[in-house]
Amino acid sequence: MAAILGKSFGGINTATLLFGGVLLSHFFRCYALSMTAVQLSSTNVFMRAWNSRIVRIGIFAALAILIVSIHLLRIDTVPRGVYQDEAAIGINALSIAHDGRDEHGEVFPLFFESFGDYKAPVYIYTAALLFRVAPPSTAILRLTSAFYVLLLVTAVVLLVRRLTMHRQTVAAYALLAAGTLPWFFTLSRISFEVISQAALTATALLTLWYAFCPATKHALGWSAATGILLALSVYAYPTGRIIGFGLLAIMLLFYARRSTVRQALVITCSFAICLVPYLLYVLRHADHLTARFNGMTFVFDPSLSFIQKAMIFLGNYVAHFTPAFLLLQGDGNLRHAIGFGGEIFLTVGILALTCLVLLTIRRLRVDRRFIGVLVCLMVLAPVASALTTDGIPHSLRSILLGLSLLLLSCIGFDLLLQIFSKRMYPIVALVIFLCLGTEATAYLYHYFAVYPAVSAAAFESSDLSGALQRAAAEHPQEIIVTPHINYATVRWYQTVAKLPMPVRQEELVQKPGRCLIFRNDDQAEIIGSLPFKDVSPPEGLFHVRCY
């Protein structure tokens, strides 16, 4: 047990502790500076400006435009290269958009087979809709993720406006925090299905609030929407097959009462009806949905005892709540994170903890049933990830932990404002915004200035598009790409580039009228000694030789 827990905390070295110390010192420095600034200036002027409807709308609109802009900025080139999972989603979405068939010829499949795995349908069909109205490109493919993260941000902002007393202030915080949180921002710019699960869950939480709000006129309609969105989250990402059912049980536990039995029944029935295709698919092809899980879990390992499995699960589970993962280092996979800071900002973490502490020691105005749902979601979120052995702690499989911590931090901000006087209110708010803004700025700078160079190796296809275009410019009869590159990546770039000549993956054999594309470690496998023309992209991962 001690060894497992020690491994979870073992990643905190001197550098990360120093980084945490810098963040803490910066937090208190922002507090001191803002205290001085507000005391020297006129608090009344600040409050009058913020209480002006026009000023609030202007600030909120400017912030929203900024959030949208940074999510779309250089989305096709940062990160560099399209990873094989992105490419697989892209070619299937393109195929569906073209004739309703996937890459294997299946007509409108429920799940998409792709190099031994079965990908969830929600994201792919959304991307297919985009490809119906726009030409295929990396930017359009990744725009699907941007759409889902903006849906998530919108749902979070609307939700906190209904959960909190200081609506305008907390909504502005929610917009900035949700729009720049590392956990979501990284995934909003790559085509992975998981971001759709987070967005659908956030929207389901919003409709849940409406369904059980006494002032709601169409409670049953909102209840049906909650069940449908929760069911769609099951189709959105593999962990939804555990969390979706668990979250339904949590919602009913906190909200199902004699006076709300109709809403509870509508949520349950709409959820069940939407999952009928899923259940039928499971009965026919259960092995399709469990194949990858079976290959990465310890649950079915006969060499481990029940106690050993329980200890592994506990160690994996605890790892998702460590400061190393949440605040200092984040996910070690540089496709899921950028190698700077943790999965959430220190400000968000402190406010989420503040929420839990204040609810324990003070009686404040807050929707405790909804907070109960969020706390249970926080506890449930890492369970699916903890059952695996790959890349623990894993930010994709535990993304709903980020959503629950974000929402708890918004409520914590509101509770913090409730316990301060009106005179201290603007000071506390300004401290929070300064700290959050500084952390967000530092993260975004690192993302756009430092991460692009790092991402090239992580995504494994940097400048493959450029290599194909340079090869095509030589007008060969055919282009041969090293078979060590995933086929989906090659097909994606071939489709986007609209190359007139055939592109195949086979042995690198020299032949007149042929261009070979390979990496450094494939050079020794080239067969033949014909003279060639080198047209390789500068500073790329790929080489191009034409014969």
Res. 167 pLDDT band, cuts 50 70 90: confident
Q: What is the structure's pLDDT at 49?
A: 59
Q: What is the structure's pLDDT at 411?
A: 96
Nearest-CA neighbor of 439 among 117, 50, 177, 56? 177
Of residues 463 and 96, the one with the higher pLDDT is 96
Q: What is the structure's pLDDT at 77?
A: 93
Question: pLDDT above 90 covers what percent of the chain?
Answer: 78
Q: Is the pLDDT of residue 33 over 60?
A: no
Res. 51 pLDDT band, cuts 50 70 90: low
Q: Convert the pLDDT of each residue in 318-367 to its tens digit.
A: 999 999 999 999 999 999 999 999 999 999 999 999 999 999 887 877 88
Mean pLDDT of the chain: 90
Q: Of 186-190, 207-211, 362-366, which gets the smallest average pLDDT?
A: 362-366
φ, ψ at 297 (rounded to 5°) = -110, 155
How far apart, in Å, are the Cα atoms of 482 and each of 419, 441, 507, 516, 523? Answer: 64, 40, 7, 8, 10
Q: What is the structure's pLDDT at 48?
A: 59
Nearest-CA neighbor of 145 among 173, 186, 110? 186
Q: What is the structure's pLDDT at 427?
A: 86
How large is the average pLDDT for residues 31-42?
45
Query: Model's pTM, two decimal places?
Result: 0.90
Q: Convert the pLDDT of each residue in 356-410 to its tens digit.
A: 999 988 787 788 999 999 999 999 999 999 999 989 999 999 999 999 999 999 9
Q: What is the structure's pLDDT at 47?
A: 56
Q: Is the pLDDT of residue 484 over 50?
A: yes
Q: Convert the pLDDT of each residue in 277-317 to its tens digit.
A: 999 999 998 888 888 888 899 999 999 999 999 999 999 99
φ, ψ at 108 (rounded to 5°) = 40, 65
Q: Of 127-131, 233-237, 416-420, which gets the smallest average pLDDT?
A: 416-420
Q: And the tokens for 480?
A: 């041969």
How large is the average pLDDT for residues 183-201?
97
Q: Convert the pLDDT of each residue in 98-122 to its tens digit.
A: 999 999 999 999 999 988 789 999 9
DSSP H helical segments within 188-330, as ranges?
194-212, 219-236, 240-255, 261-274, 276-296, 306-319, 323
Cα(10)–Cα(24) distance, rounded to whole angstroms? 21
Q: Convert the pLDDT of each residue in 17-32 to its tens digit.
A: 444 444 444 544 444 4
Three-state SS for 13?
coil
- CB within 8 A of 196, min separation 6: which ones? 120, 122, 123, 126, 148, 236, 237
Q: What is the structure's pLDDT at 293?
A: 87
Cα(399)–Cα(382) distance, rounded to whole angstroms? 8
Q: What is the structure's pLDDT at 76?
A: 94
Three-state SS for 193?
coil
Q: What is the structure's pLDDT at 515?
A: 97
Exposed/middle/buried for residue 103 (C-beta within 10 Å: 0-12, 13-18, 19+) = middle
Q: What is the structure's pLDDT at 44?
A: 53
